[in-house]
């Protein structure tokens, strides 16, 4: 495959990529040295898939479809290189094209995201995710159990995003939280022509959109959806904002407060990002879901 700088790089923790629950139980119950011995003793036993496995697999498949290296996945791990050998062995066994990693020996790995050029960080460690967001990187805490068998039935990569506090800033959500639904609807209708400020995932969505443009529109393996609690008349400002950004979403679901889970299942999301933990918790038994701890809903 021709060498080329990737246009989009994501960073992922080892526990998001693989099911490390048993290893983590050893660490919590018996301590670090027991964990080290356990991982070394099992380093040739292939780890099962984690919550983000199928997302990563489909993401890396983009390189094969384009016959050039346009995307990259970086492993960021709290393991040491010694205990992380099992992870790299499992990466090889599952046929994932992941060659770069930072093993941080118990320290948070988020500080290496910028050095690797990462646009997105997925982890099961909420503190690491919060630090990444504070440093301007789109990030989410993945919830749920084992990812075994949780890939969508579609061959294409499907990503679903909430709007306010994820793709957009929390300016509208602040009005809703402080003044209620009627004030929110009135404000959004009055400001329909004014583009919303970008949220933490604006840059990632832009990079994803640019990547989609490398494929024919009728044959693109990446599909995106906005899944928002907004309804009319608050829909217009969202549409005009995306126009102003010159970003296209393949599907936009304005649910007017309806529960999101069944819509995410119908879309076949490989991952769903939302700032409200209750939405993520409801969706996570059915689709991989990431909590984005950003905005007024997560204040305090």
Q: Of the candidates 274, 299, 294, which has an alpha carbon nearest to the alpha carbon of residue 284?
A: 274
Between CA 240 and CA 222 the distance in angstroms is 23
Question: 135 - beta bridge partners?
Answer: none
* Catalytic status, residue 155: no
Q: What is the sign, positive or negative, of the torsion defined by CA atoms of 16, 22, 25, 30?
A: negative
Q: Which of 128, 162, 164, 275 is catalytic?
A: 162
* Rounded Cα gap, residues 298 and 120, in angstroms: 19
The dihedral built from the CA positions of residue 175, 176, 182 and 188, taken in this order, carries a sign that is positive
Contacts of 261 (CB under 8 A, 6+ apart): 282, 283, 286, 287
Q: Which residues of 267-289 are buried (b: 16+ CB within 10 A; e: fewer)?
A: bbbbbbbbbbbebbebbbeebbb
Q: Can you read off the two tokens belonging to residue 268?
A: 């076949």
- Prior bond of 201 cis (ω within 30°): no
DSSP line for 57-101 = HHHHHHHHHHTS--EEEEEEESS-HHHHHHHHHHHHHTT----EE
Q: Which of 90, 220, 249 is nearest to 162 (CA)?
A: 249
CA 77 – CA 99 distance, rounded (Å): 13
Residues marked active site are found at 162
């Amino acid at each position: 495959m021709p060498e080329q700088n990737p246009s989009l790089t994501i960073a992922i923790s080892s526990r998001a990529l693989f099911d490390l629950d048993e290893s983590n139980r050893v660490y919590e119950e018996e301590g670090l040295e027991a964990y080290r011995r356990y991982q070394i003793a099992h380093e040739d036993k292939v780890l099962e898939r984690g919550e983000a496995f199928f997302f990563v697999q489909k993401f890396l498949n983009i390189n094969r479809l384009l016959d050039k290296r346009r995307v990259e996945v970086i492993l960021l791990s709290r393991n040491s290189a010694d205990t992380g050998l099992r992870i790299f062995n499992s990466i090889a066994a599952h046929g994932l094209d992941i060659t770069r990693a930072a093993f941080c020996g118990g320290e948070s790995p988020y500080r290496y995201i910028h050095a690797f050029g990462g646009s997105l960080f997925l982890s099961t460690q909420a503190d690491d995710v919060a630090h990444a967001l504070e440093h301007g990187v789109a990030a989410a805490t993945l919830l749920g159990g084992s990812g075994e068998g949780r890939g969508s039935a579609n061959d294409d990569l499907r990503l679903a995003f909430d709007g306010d506090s994820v793709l957009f800033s929390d300016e509208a959500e602040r009005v809703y939280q402080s003044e209620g639904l009627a004030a929110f609807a009135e404000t959004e209708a009055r400001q329909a022509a004014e583009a919303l400020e970008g949220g933490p995932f604006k840059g990632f969505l832009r990079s994803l959109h640019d990547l989609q443009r490398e494929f024919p529109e009728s044959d693109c393996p990446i599909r995106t959806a906005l899944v928002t609690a907004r309804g009319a008349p608050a829909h217009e400002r969202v549409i005009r904002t995306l126009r102003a950004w010159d970003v296209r979403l393949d599907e936009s679901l304005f649910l007017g407060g309806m529960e999101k889970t069944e819509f995410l299942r119908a879309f076949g999301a490989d991952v769903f990002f939302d700032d409200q933990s209750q939405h993520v918790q409801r969706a996570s038994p059915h689709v991989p879901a990431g909590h984005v701890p950003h905005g007024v809903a997560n204040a305090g």
